[in-house]
Amino acid sequence: MRDVAILGAGMTRFGELWDRSFREIGIEAGLGAMVDARVSSAQLDGVYFGNMAAGSLIEQEHIAPLILDYAGLGSRHLPAIRVEGGGASGALALHEGYLAVASGLYDIVVVGGAEKMTDVTDERGSDIASATADHEWEVVFGATLPSLWGMIARRHMHEFGTKREEFAQVSVHDHEMGSKNPNAHYRNRITLPQVLGAGPVAEPLGMLDCAPLSDGAAAVVLGPLEIARKYTDTPIRIAASQVATDSMALQHRREITTVDATVESAQRAFRLARRAPSDVQVAEIHDAYSIAALVSLEDLGFVPKGKGGPEFASGRFAHGGAGPTVNTSGGLKSQGRPFGAVGIAQVVELVRQLRGEAKDRQVSGAQLGLAHNLGGTGATSVVHLLERVN
């Protein structure tokens, strides 16, 4: 297998982009990444595209050639392939792009992710998001993603004494970070009393525990590490790309306070890269619901099981804490949640951090970053370890 590097990164602003179409935002992100990598379209070998539900959201399947075409690259007849795994679609597309370059069949590949969640009503958008849970065992009985994560939160509180205030702190942290991110959907700071006092969505989760439904796109350019310096002074090596899955329905899992897919994907990634959680300085984790951040920090190996709440509340994962610093982008809560774009946007943020280009969000001395992208309630987990090549 060849070593694979990230040569460039780009993204749109996340938010309610009512004035811009799916194809427009896909192109902006992709071309942004190509300009950043100083790669011309003549050098491209293929495109991967992460997207959850364009069929349901904008009545358009088969979107990978569409985006390529509208980017003005249709006449080159490049391979263009869509990958889907709910909220993990972006990171899965990155995994496929990584394999394409690692195999030697492709050299330069653009991996993008996009979703247009706000072209439908909030209710319809929420239903479509819930199609990433088990339709026959969960959704037909009325379960939605927040209600399922709400059950996980209740059980986590019961088993480990996790406090409501502790996971509320995740949202406060995310908005603090996102306030410094010009691409973020929400750039306002919020307070603990605001999170605790927000209207309930699925108790104990309230409005401010839940990431929004957003529009947005993000992209990176991949290539073989051995030629990366032709394109960039700071190639970022993909030290590991690992995917793991679990049962879709919560009741079929071994337990619900651990997401085994996260545990497996992280352990495999650290083993392959010969690194440990303590080697990571900066991490983007999947905080679609505040409780998910705590569960993920435990399952990724950053804190022991059950200790996520107090450790998070202690400020350990904040800027300047013992680390790793988490969700400097603002995470899904503040930067936003365009499902298929999330996993790529996480990597865009890590690229900026590892290059030292994250401005007032910068984590000093960041050498190893981790991206953690989940689908549904964790039936898919993807972990990428990214390393600055000095």
Residues that bind its own copies (CB under 8 A): 1, 21, 23, 46, 52-53, 55-56, 58-62, 64-66, 68-69, 74-75, 77-86, 92, 95-96, 99-100, 102-105, 127-128, 131-136, 139, 242-248, 252, 254, 260-261, 264-265, 375-376, 379-380
Q: For residues 273 and 239, is the Cβ–Cβ distance under 8 A?
A: yes
The owner of tokens 């030292």 is 356
Nearest to its own copies of 259, 366 (CB atom): 259
Question: How many whole angstroms separate alpha carbon 299 and alpha carbon 117?
Answer: 29
Distance CA 292, CA 278 (A): 20
12-16-22-25 Cα dihedral, nearest 10 degrees? -10
- Nearer Cβ to its own copies (41/60): 60
Complex with its own copies: residue 263 or 345, whichever CB lies closer: 263
Pick the closer one to its own copies by CB: 145 or 313: 145
Nearest of 338, 349, 352 to residue 371 by alpha carbon: 349
What is the crossing angle of helices 145-160 and 122-130, to 10°?
A: 60
CB of 89 to its own copies, least distance (A): 9
Query: What's the closest the beta carbon of residue 241 comes to its own copies, in angstroms?
Result: 8
User: Is the CB of 54 or the CB of 318 nearer to its own copies?
Assistant: 54
19 vs 136 by CB, closer to its own copies: 136
Which residues in 286-310 are b (16+ Cβ under 10 Å) and which e? Answer: bbbbbbbbbbbbbbbbbbeebbbbb
162 exposed, middle or buried (CB, 10 Å; 0-12, 13-18, 19+)?
buried
CB of 70 to its own copies, least distance (A): 9
Give the relative orientation of helices 89-103 and 339-355 as an angle to the nearest 10 degrees.
Answer: 60
Give the nearer residue to its own copies in terms of CB position, either 184 or 244.
Answer: 244
Note whether 370 and 280 are within 8 A (CB).
yes
Of 75 and 390, nearer to its own copies (C-beta) is: 75
Cα separation of 26 and 356, whole Å? 26
The two three-digit tokens of residue 139, written as one number: 């959704």
Question: Of the two residues 99 and 227, which places its CB atom closer to its own copies in the complex?
Answer: 99
Q: Is 155 in contact with 161 (CB distance < 8 Å)? A: no
> CA torsion angle for 225, 228, 234, 240 (degrees, to 10)?
-20
Strand locations in 322-379, DSSP E?
325-326, 368-375
Closest contact distance (angstroms) between CB of 41 and its own copies is 14
Q: Which is nearer to its own copies, 2 or 307 (CB)?
A: 2
Min. distance of Cβ 260 from its own copies in angstroms? Answer: 6
| Structural tokens at position 78 | 């490049």
CA distance 88 to 384: 12
Residue 152 near residue 291 (C-beta atoms within 8 A): yes
Instruction: Retrieve residue 134's tokens.
Output: 């088990």
Determine the Cα–Cα distance for residues 191 and 141; give it in Å rounded to an integer.
Answer: 35
